[in-house]
Amino acid sequence: MIAEVKRRSPSRGDIRIDLDPAALAVAYAAGGACAISVLTEPHHFAGSPADLLAVRAAVELPVLRKDFVTTAYQVWEARAWGADAVLLIVAALEPAELRALLDETAEAGLDALVEVHTVAEAEVAAAAGASLVGVNARDLATLQVDPGRFADVRRALPGGTVLVAESGIRDRAEVQAAGDAGADAVLVGETLVRADDPTKAVRDLLASPDRRNEMNRQRASAAPQPIPAEQ
């Protein structure tokens, strides 16, 4: 799981404007997240470089700078802030620009999560040589989530591509569905940011069926037992 630090979004409005990015990242790490995504875009997501810097100082996990990255300067800027990867959105780039930014991220020693929404965009990502691709289930025009989009789009990507399912993941069943459809990872934001206990929320989303059964047994054994009625 890539767990996201996000204050607001265009589709949902304010989520948690006053969040503590460092504390949230530490909670995600404790729950078992493998990486942290941090919004640095200020206008639509209320993000900032300060959020990424705070997360970088708080955890040792890989950190993704999530923003509208369209220039080489932003790639090196992300590296200077301590990011390990940047988001490159195919819909915001011409194919030649995508290829150039992939080269730039490699030169900077960063990874690139290349985000696609459609089969056509997936074909562009594949042609550019993207090896880490996020399939976003949210329609950019309507902002609605299509649960079947991942399975449709992934077929356009070559074998060996590391696939991340993005948007609309709210519970363990949806994580499992993404895995069954071929996802290697999920990126989760709003569900975790809104959670009263982000650590538990991460653990619950990542729990295997066997682990969930064990957790249920532990809860049952810890519950107060009824007092037998006197005969």
**Which positions are catalytic?**
4, 6, 66, 115, 136, 166-167
162-166/185-188 β-pairing:
parallel
Phi, psi values for residue 58, rounded to 5° = -95, -30
Helix H or strand E encompassing 180: helix 172-180
d(CA 220, CA 43): 47
CB atoms within 10 A of CB 97: 16
Helix H or strand E encompassing 59: none
13-14/35-39 β-pairing:
unpaired
Q: Decide: residue 220, CB within 10 A, 0-12 exposed, 13-18 middle, 19+ buried.
A: exposed
Q: Is 5 helix (H, G, I), strand (E, B) or coil?
A: strand
Cα–Cα separations (whole angstroms), residue 207 to 63, 136, 231:
23, 23, 43
